[in-house]
């Protein structure tokens, strides 16, 4: 029953999307951009604005993801050193090992499997994971070809990630300041 009630609906949507792209003249780039910049943030915002989530849950999820990312970083670096990879290759291996695209497939599956509560947990996971990807991931990608000190000193490489987790409590916007390169 789990496959029929939970997994099958997600794969049916994927299949219909595949058919639409094969049979029709569909601008997949427009769909992808709308999903990335409009639909996904709206979905996460709606989930967090309606939810009654304790700060302890947010902290536990963030800590859990941080531990997983750190573990995967260590394992990927060991593997990369074992194959005698260059620094850019080691960082590329780490990036592909540490971060996953769990939102597009994970949120619907969690929602179908566990209802509204699963949807809230999945959205919390996606937000926490995005914060790590937007900070640790960017830093790791930039440090593949540059030194750490160069990245921290160079104004064009500097990044600031500002987030506010208050929407879990008050329904306000997640990002109260924008990324800045200045």
Mean pLDDT, all residues of the chain: 76
At 78, which helix (H) or strand (E)? helix 55-82
Q: What is the pLDDT of residue 176?
A: 38
Residue 176 DSSP one-character state: S
User: How many domains are contained in the chain?
Assistant: 1
Q: What is the pLDDT of residue 71?
A: 96
Read off the tokens for 59: 């902290």
Q: Would 80 be classed as within a structural domain?
A: yes
Q: Would 177 be classed as within a structural domain?
A: no
Q: Would 83 be classed as within a structural domain?
A: yes
Q: Would 65 be classed as within a structural domain?
A: yes
Model's pTM, two decimal places?
Answer: 0.66
Distance CA 145, CA 88 (A): 6
For 76-82, the CB contacts below 8 A with 24+ separation are none
pLDDT (mean) for 27-48: 78
The pLDDT confidence band at residue 164, using thresholds 50, 70 and 90, is very low
Q: Would 71 be classed as within a structural domain?
A: yes
Q: Would 68 be classed as within a structural domain?
A: yes
pLDDT (mean) for 10-22: 82
Q: Would 161 be classed as within a structural domain?
A: no
State the CB neighbour count (10 A cutoff) for residue 125: 19
Distance CA 156, CA 181 (A): 6
Instruction: Say how far residue 170 (Cα) sits from the centre of its chain.
Output: 23
Which domain range does residue 110 map to? 53-154
Q: Would 3 be classed as within a structural domain?
A: no
Q: What is the pLDDT of residue 68?
A: 92
Q: CB under 8 Å to 9, separation ≥6 — which residues?
A: 108, 112
Residue 177 DSSP one-character state: S
| 165 has pLDDT over 60 | no
| 181 has pLDDT over 70 | no
Read off the tokens for 64: 């859990």
């Amino acid at each position: 029953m789990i496959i029929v009630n939970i997994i099958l609906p997600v794969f049916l949507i994927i299949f219909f999307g595949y058919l639409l792209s094969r049979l029709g003249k569909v601008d997949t780039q427009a769909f992808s951009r709308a999903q990335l910049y409009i639909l996904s943030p709206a979905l996460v915002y709606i989930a967090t604005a309606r939810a009654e989530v304790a700060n302890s849950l947010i902290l536990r999820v963030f800590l859990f993801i941080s531990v997983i990312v750190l573990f995967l970083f260590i394992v990927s670096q060991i593997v990369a050193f074992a194959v005698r990879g260059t620094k850019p290759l080691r960082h590329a291996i780490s990036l592909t090992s540490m971060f996953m695209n769990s939102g597009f497939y994970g949120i619907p599956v969690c929602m179908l499997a566990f209802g509204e509560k699963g949807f809230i947990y999945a959205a919390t996971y996606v937000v926490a994971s995005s914060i790590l990807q937007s900070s640790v991931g960017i830093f790791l990608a930039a440090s593949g070809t540059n030194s750490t000190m160069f990245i921290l000193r160079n104004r064009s490489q500097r990044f600031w990630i500002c987030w506010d987790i208050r929407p879990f409590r008050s329904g306000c916007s997640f990002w109260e300041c924008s990324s800045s390169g200045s």
